[in-house]
């Protein structure tokens, strides 16, 4: 029996999934569910106020997506280990999630026993990728770093520059003044950046910029 009870926040748009998590992580499991949420904003509030050991997120939730929650938690330096529980097999999307700060990515197709084992490993500080990757382990080795960087290598130098200024919290007008170009041109660049990276807002973009800076550092 585990010597330490791991606190968990769960978030999913489907009530039946939340119910399943509560049953799975019930008494004697070594885990304790401290909050269950069915939308992004309530999940963010729970993570901020409770700072659980682990938060398990659905990648698509009303109000704020899993990627947005990753971005917010990363920008606020919340120590909770964030885990995406997803049916997605899109490696580009998963690489973006890793770059945005996901500590683990668990497929909805895996067996219950594997899910519990994966959560224990994450609680012990081991980063995990889906089972399609060797051993399911996500250490920050060169191959994994390259995968995260490749998600951003589609950008031009100017687009990378704008992305980093967005991560500093600058508005379009402020970025335009800094680069001596119009804010209309900034909007065009941002539109192209969002399309290339398949993101829809500045929060996720900022998180990716911060992660890229850490990788290059």
Residue ranges of domains in the chain, CATH in brackets? 6-139 (3.40.50.2300), 152-216 (1.10.10.10)
pLDDT of residue 185: 92
Q: Which two tokens stand for residue 13?
A: 């748009």
Distance of CA 187 to the CA centre of its chain: 25
Q: What is the mean pLDDT of each run of 10 residues along the chain (217 residues)?
A: 79 92 90 94 95 92 83 86 79 69 83 88 82 40 45 82 85 91 91 82 73 52
Residue 75 is predicted with a pLDDT of 77
Residue 143, pLDDT score: 41
Nearest-angstrom CA–CA distance, 85 and 107? 6
Distances in Å between the Cα of 3 and the Cα atoms of 6, 31, 64 are 10, 11, 34
Tokens of 27: 């008494």
d(CA 56, CA 206): 22
CB atoms within 10 A of CB 135: 9
d(CA 106, CA 117): 11
**What pLDDT score does 3 carry?**
56
């Amino acid at each position: 029996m585990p010597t330490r009870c791991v606190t968990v926040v769960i978030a999913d748009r489907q009530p039946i999934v939340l119910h399943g998590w509560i049953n799975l992580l019930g008494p004697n499991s070594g885990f304790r569910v401290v909050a269950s949420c069915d939308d992004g904003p309530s999940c963010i509030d729970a993570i901020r106020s409770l700072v659980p050991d682990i938060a398990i997120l659905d990648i698509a939730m009303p109000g704020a997506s899993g990627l947005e929650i990753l971005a917010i938690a990363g920008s606020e330096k919340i120590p909770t280990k964030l885990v995406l529980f997803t049916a997605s097999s899109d490696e580009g999307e998963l690489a973006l999630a890793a770059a945005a700060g996901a500590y683990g990515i668990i497929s909805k197709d895996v067996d219950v026993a594997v899910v519990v084992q994966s959560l224990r490993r994450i609680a012990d500080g081991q980063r995990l990728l889906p089972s399609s990757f060797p051993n399911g382990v996500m250490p920050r080795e060169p191959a994994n770093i390259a995968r995260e960087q490749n998600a951003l290598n589609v950008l031009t130098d100017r687009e990378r520059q704008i992305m980093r200024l967005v991560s500093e919290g600058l508005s379009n007008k402020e970025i335009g003044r800094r680069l001596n170009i119009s804010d209309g041109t900034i909007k065009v660049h941002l539109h192209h950046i969002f399309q290339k990276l398949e993101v829809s807002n500045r929060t996720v973009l900022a998180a990716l910029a911060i992660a890229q800076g850490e990788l290059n550092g």
